[in-house]
């Protein structure tokens, strides 16, 4: 599917991370020093940020949103749309975005909703918020993307533990008569659903306890099924199969070529995969952002986090034509071409352990 967002500009980015760091190059409980060095070479991940048990994805996103609103000088009541993209909501009911509306001080006339997507979620959230502004009386929108991916991992899993970290990101959109069109391409293939999934926790395989305790066998099965299952070989094959055509299609739809793009920021999956994608899409290294070292793979937050961490100076000093692309769990994918900047320099903030939590 293709779409054009007209009359809307990207007004700002911001990200938030917990203060707790973990590196298998310093902690050799799971890998030897030699193994950890090899992991760094392939994944690009030196350390990840791990949220403490009381901090949720929503808290990191709220911190990013509060910081971004202050940086932009926006009255929260002027925000008409709030989209929360996450696979880690606070509750089954209600939608976390409704609680965010109250915390952030948005007007009761604002449209607020959750989107359950992962690696492609930033693109989808941006697209939905932009289209809502373009077809309504709304003037401003905030898209929040965040996950606590570290909590989905099986203890001792050598394939996933070194890769995933926790973060939240925010992007602001605003109606602007002078805005250039934003071109969007998205797609889905549910045939790959089982290659990145958490089998238990929804209604199909419920974790809601009955009155009688579970048998030990079921208890053990639910423990495993409530953690992330990831088929790395299938993920890699899907990525190389789906993403290069996505990039070509998006560039063609936007009427531009690789040479016209100033900055390409893809979902920060791992350095090995990103380098393969860079070569297949023919982006020169100086235009292609890889930002795995300090945060790892942060799911839906990875694009706004990478932008906030590495592109503050570039986006605050001029206009850059950017290609942003997300892909993964679902299978789901999407990309946008947009002119961004000048905007206030995007930043990454640490939230303290005593950050005021989002509560109903």
pLDDT at 210: 87
- pLDDT < 70 regions, the chain: none
Cis peptide before 331 (omega within 30 of 0): yes
SS3 label, residue 268: coil
SS3 label, residue 33: helix
How far is 222 from 226, CA to CA, in rounded Å?
6
Residues contacting residue 298 through CB under 8 Å, at least 6 positions apart:
147, 149, 164, 165, 166, 167, 268, 305
How far is 8 from 128, CA to CA, in rounded Å?
12
Number of H helices, E strands in the chain: 9, 16
How far is 120 from 211, CA to CA, in rounded Å?
39
Domain boundaries, the chain: 2-188+233-350
Structure tokens at 147: 């996950």
| Nearest-5° Cα angle at 44, 225 to 236 | 50
Residues contacting residue 194 through CB under 8 Å, at least 6 positions apart:
229, 231
Active site positions, annotated: 119, 267, 297
pLDDT at 173: 99
Please name every residue paired with 289 in a beta bridge, in sequence order, or none if there are none: 265
Closest CA to 178 of 9, 320, 4, 3: 9
CATH code for the domain defined by 2-188+233-350: 3.40.47.10
Residues contacting residue 93 through CB under 8 Å, at least 6 positions apart:
none
């Amino acid at each position: 599917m293709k779409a054009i967002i007209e009359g809307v500009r990207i007004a700002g980015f911001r990200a938030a991370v917990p203060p707790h760091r973990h590196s298998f190059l310093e902690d050799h409980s799971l890998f030897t020093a030699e193994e950890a060095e090899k992991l760094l070479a392939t994944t690009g991940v030196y350390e990840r940020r791990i949220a403490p048990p009381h901090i949720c994805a929503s808290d990191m996103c709220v911190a990013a949103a509060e910081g971004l609103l202050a940086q932009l000088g926006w009255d929260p009541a002027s925000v008409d749309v709030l989209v929360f993209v996450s696979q880690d909501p606070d509750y089954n009911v209600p939608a976390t975005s409704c609680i965010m509306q109250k915390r952030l001080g948005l007007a009761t006339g604002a449209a607020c909703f959750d989107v359950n997507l992962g690696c492609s979620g930033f693109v989808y959230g941006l697209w939905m918020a932009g289209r809502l502004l373009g077809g309504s009386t709304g003037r401003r929108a905030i898209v929040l993307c965040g996950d606590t991916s570290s909590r989905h991992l099986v203890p001792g899993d050598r394939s996933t533990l070194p890769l995933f970290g926790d973060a939240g990101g925010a992007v602001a959109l605003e109606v602007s008569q002078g805005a250039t069109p934003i071109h969007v391409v998205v797609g889905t293939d549910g045939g790959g659903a089982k290659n990145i999934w958490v089998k238990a926790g929804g209604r199909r395989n419920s974790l809601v306890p009955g009155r009688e305790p579970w048998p030990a066998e079921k208890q053990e099965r639910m423990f495993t099924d409530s953690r992330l299952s990831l088929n790395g070989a299938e993920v890699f094959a899907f990525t190389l199969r789906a993403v290069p055509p996505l990039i070509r299609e998006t560039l063609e739809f936007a009427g531009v070529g690789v040479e016209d793009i100033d900055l390409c920021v893809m979902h920060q999956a791992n350095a090995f995969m990103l380098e393969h994608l860079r070569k297949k899409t023919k982006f020169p290294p100086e235009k292609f952002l890889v930002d795995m070292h300090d945060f790892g793979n942060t799911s839906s937050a990875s694009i706004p986090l990478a932008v906030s961490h590495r592109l503050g100076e570039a986006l605050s000093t001029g206009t850059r034509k950017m290609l942003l692309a997300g892909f993964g769990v679902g299978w789901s994918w999407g990309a946008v071409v947009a002119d961004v900047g000048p905007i206030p320099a995007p930043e990454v903030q640490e939230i303290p352990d005593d950050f005021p939590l989002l509560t109903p």
